[in-house]
Amino acid sequence: MTLQKVLSFIRRAVDDYHMIEAGDSIAVGISGGKDSLTLLYGLHGLMRFYPNSFQIHAVTVDLGFDNLNLNQIQTLCNELKVPYTIVKTDIADIIFHQRKETNPCSLCAKMRKGALNEAIKAAGCNKVAYAHHKDDVVETMLMSLIYEGRFHTFHPVTYLDRMDLTVIRPLMYMNESDVIGFVNKHQIPVVKSPCPADGYTKREYVKQLIQQLNRDNPGVKERMFTAIQNSDLKGWRILHGK
């Protein structure tokens, strides 16, 4: 997967859903994983030629695990000349030691997003880019069906009125396999998640389920994604024209 191909996926998503306007200052949430680093590279590349000029600012929320090393990401941001903010928190201690949560992911996500949004506003950004790809979109939809009994997934663009902040998802047309191919080809310094719950979640179960469905019924993931785009879900209708 070349950077040019990544840029074509991102450009299509940005254009289809009018994600970027001239003058935007966009925070890129960096977990250190393959998805967020691919997004960082992609938006950095898009800045060079996109007709609506914009700036990016990388932000990582450090949950407080002792074995998280962000030095390589700091070096990468320096090389790309992208401002980088690391937000120190005690979220890991609160969730795993103080509260001893048996299902930590929901509370962790809420606390992490709170810390991220505060840092984004402090940096003067009006938008934040999340690195959700096509697999994430479909997995979220199936999780909603299985565990909540409703047809739902997150939106390509979401305005958070309480924060006066817009969330965009420029990787939404990329498959996870595309991201893996890009990271491997360019030897991007991925930081493994130190979270003890990583890989043991409902999302991981649904991911494996979709992979099995796709093996038994080739193309089913793409058809699920198409069903989402063709549905009446708010925010999923492609916007035509600039």
Phi, psi (deg, nearest 5) at residue 54: -155, 165
pLDDT digits (tens, 9 = 90+) for 42-71: 999 999 999 999 999 999 998 888 777 889
Q: In what order do the strands lie in the sheet with 165-168?
A: 84-88, 54-62, 24-29, 127-129, 165-168, 157-160
Cα(61)–Cα(126) distance, rounded to whole angstroms?
18
The predicted structure's pLDDT at residue 74 = 94
pLDDT digits (tens, 9 = 90+) for 121-150: 999 999 999 999 999 999 999 999 999 999
pLDDT band at 202 (very low <50, low <70, confident <90, very high): confident
Residue 180 scores a pLDDT above 90 = yes
Phi, psi (deg, nearest 5) at residue 198: -60, 125
The predicted structure's pLDDT at residue 107 = 86
Domains of the chain, CATH where assigned: 3-229 (3.40.50.620)
| Type and span of the H or E element at 8 | helix 3-16
pLDDT digits (tens, 9 = 90+) for 104-126: 878 888 898 889 999 999 999 99
The residue with greater pLDDT, 219 or 196, is 219
pLDDT digits (tens, 9 = 90+) for 66-98: 777 889 999 999 999 999 999 999 888 898 888
Cα(77)–Cα(56) distance, rounded to whole angstroms?
11
The predicted structure's pLDDT at residue 199 = 59
**3-class SS letters over 151-220:** CCCCCCEEEECCCCEEEECCCCCCCHHHHHHHHHHHCCCCCCCCCCCCCCCHHHHHHHHHHHHHHHCCCH
The predicted structure's pLDDT at residue 85 = 95
Phi, psi (deg, nearest 5) at residue 43: -70, -35
Average pLDDT, the chain: 92
The predicted structure's pLDDT at residue 200 = 60
